[in-house]
Structure 1
Amino acid sequence: MNSEIIQVDQKTIVGMKLEMSLLENQTPGLWQKFMPKLNSISNRLDNHLISMTIYPSDYFQNFNPSNRFKKWAGIEVSKAATLFDELEIIKIPSGLYVRFLYQGLPSQAGPFYQSIFQEWLPKSGYKLDNRPHFELMGDKYKNNDPSSEEMIYIPVMK
């Protein structure tokens, strides 16, 4: 599992959010609702999509698949734009992240994430930081294709 510790600058995201749990995963519906609004968002930095998760501070200490979190579907913008139609702005604070490349189907990512939290993190010398987790889906992202690639960003601190 290749990883890289990087400093990520603050990001301004325009998107939509839903509260959900792993047992009641509504991520596909969130993206179906967001994608038709994509072309109306001004000041976009690029065409990369950002899937972001904001977990409660005790989410991983008391892990249960029914625990709830906020999931965002969005895109990075250079500055805040006029918002409409359920779109919101959120900032990802700057900080250290560990970055992983994931290749495969979203439905099969569970074991990959499990190895990050149960194997990589305990051996890394880092611990989780309480900031948003996010995935960047760029040019090599192909929805529901086994050759699809995305970058996973997990917030860490020494």
Structure 2
Amino acid sequence: MDTTETLQGILEFIDEHITDNISPEVLAAQAGYSTWHFCRLFQWGTGYSVMAYVRNRRLAFAAYELSSGKRILDISMDYGFGTHSGFSKAFRRYFGCSPGTYRLHAHSNRPFPPSLPGAYKYLIGGIIMEPKFVTLPAIKLAGFAIKTTSVAGENSKAIPAFWNDYMSNGMMEKLHAEKFIKKHDEYGVCFQEDMTTGEFEYVIGVERKDDAEISGEYHVCEVPPATYAVFSSPPSDGANFAAAIQGTWNYIFNEWFPKSGYEYAPNCNDFELYDDRSMPDEGKICDIYIPVVRMQK
């Protein structure tokens, strides 16, 4: 069973058990993956963190039930919101109005599980990419950071905008002029997300010297030691560079992981590495580092 089929089955399982006590651990066990690997896979396959997706589905089912005549408090309890106010706040954030207003002016049909695409296009030119494996010590970085969220795909807009600001408003030149730099290769690092909210920290940084003094205007962080599967994006020009990188990410999570015998390593971080190969106008390449461990049999 490929990744798409597995995730489609999980979406159907969620709808069938929408009023049950659903958790990332329960869904990971249903899929046959570790929790860490499943959460990462789910986000890349659906665009949502696990519990953000479950919460949105519960709200969709609750909206459907508003036309049944049941009390709003009872509906909120049925779908695990605990309090009327908590449900109303979540409902307003999702639908843009209160449950009462929705009941007065709208209704919805019974939700059905979304259908994931049956095929993915990776923009990798038909190449079967095999990673190299490296084990690295902790990587100490200094640079700039934002907080974003996977909810509603906000990160897919926020991170490119962050890179654009970094390259266009003097941040890049200022950072690379600092004396604390150990290497000028640039890292784009996703730190661990909150599994409930989908919020995570994204850092653009460079390696710093161990004993360097760094002013408070820079974000200082550390990527923990790990073994990585390293994928190189296919060579591309500047106009297609971002699409080639995204295609490589899609290949990793939808093609490589299911057949690899590896899973995403817990308490570790993935990152993109931009070195001299990322600089030319033609033939641009980015390396993607995925922390991995062997799957337990």
What one-letter code is carried by the residue in structure 2 that aligns with 1:19?
K
What one-letter code is carried by the residue in structure 1 that aligns with 2:276?
D
Partner of 1:71: 202
- Matching residue within 11, 15, 22 for 2:143: 15
What one-letter code is carried by the residue in structure 2 that aligns with 1:110?
Q
Return closer, same or farther for 1:18/1:126 CA change in 2, 3 Å cut-off.
Answer: same
Percentage of pairs with the same residue: 22
TM-score (normalised: structure 1): 0.81
Superimposed CA distance per residue, residues 2-44 of structure 1 (whole angstroms, 9 cap, x where no aligned partner): 2012111111101110122124433324523530322343232
- Matching residue within 168, 171, 191 for 1:54: 191
> How far apart, CA to CA, are the structure 2 residues paired with 1:71 and 1:150?
17
Unaligned segments of structure 1, at least 5 residues = none
> How far apart, CA to CA, are the structure 2 residues paired with 1:91 and 1:35?
20
Task: Select the structure of larger CA radius of gyration.
Answer: 2
25-34 or 125-134, which deviates more: 25-34
Q: How far did residue 122 of structure 1 move? A: 1.5
TM-score (normalised: structure 2): 0.46
> How far apart, CA to CA, are the structure 1 residues paired with 2:178 and 2:207?
10
Partner of 1:115: 251
What one-letter code is carried by the residue in structure 2 that aligns with 1:31?
Y
Q: Which has the higher helix share?
A: 2
Partner of 1:91: 222
What one-letter code is carried by the residue in structure 1 that aligns with 2:137?
D
User: How many pairs does the alignment contain?
Assistant: 151
105-114 or 125-134, which deviates more: 105-114
What one-letter code is carried by the residue in structure 2 that aligns with 1:78?
K
> How far apart, CA to CA, are the structure 2 residues paired with 1:41 and 1:132?
25
- Match of 2:202, SS state, is strand
Return closer, same or farther for 1:72/1:80 CA change in 2, 3 Å cut-off.
Answer: farther
Partner of 1:28: 163
> How far apart, CA to CA, are the structure 2 residues paired with 1:57 and 1:122?
24
- Match of 1:154, SS state, is strand
Superimposed CA distance per residue, residues 41-72 of structure 1 (whole angstroms, 9 cap, x where no aligned partner): 3232222111111141649xx9xxxx443211
Partner of 1:127: 263
